[in-house]
Amino acid sequence: NAGVTQTPKFRILKIGQSMTLQCTQDMNHNYMYWYRQDPGMGLKLIYYSVGAGITDKGEVPNGYNVSRSTTEDFPLRLELAAPSQTSVYFCASALGGPQETQYFGPGTRLLVL
């Protein structure tokens, strides 16, 4: 099993550009999450999904969108990149709810200039 994979590993965007961060898991997990990690600030939840076709907002959803058309994939979309979105983005998956162990991908480092 590859676990949780994320692409790209690193990306530089100009202000106003858009991009999609890809996340795929091969563990048949129902729950998937997107977090951002800012220096010294821990992780903040952006969006999560409890199954295919179901998504919901987390703590910091503004400026982002998600979709969950399959169990495996949970892409995160940035429509109009802003410097405040410079961060490291982690995707995670879990078999059940947040009491279950979450498995994290290696992260995508995004720089918006």
Partner 1 sequence: GDSVTQMEGPVTLSEEAFLTINCTYTATGYPSLFWYVQYPGEGLQLLLKATKADDKGSNKGFEATYRKETTSFHLEKGSVQVSDSAVYFCALSDPGGNNRLAFGKGNQVVVIP
**Among 27, 45, 75, 77, which residue sits at the site for partner 1 (rule: CB under 8 A)?**
45
Measured from the CB atom, the residue of 50 and 52 that comes closer to partner 1 is 50
4 scored as a contact of partner 1 (CB under 8 A)? yes
Q: 52: exposed, middle or buried (C-beta count within 10 Å: 0-12, 13-18, 19+)?
A: middle
Q: Is the dihedral of CA 13, 15, 83, 37 positive or negative?
A: negative
Are the CB atoms for 64 and 112 separated by under 8 Å? no
27 binds partner 1 (CB under 8 A): no
Candidates 23, 29, 34, 48: give the one binding partner 1 (CB under 8 A).
Answer: 48
Residue 67 binding partner 1, by CB under 8 A: no
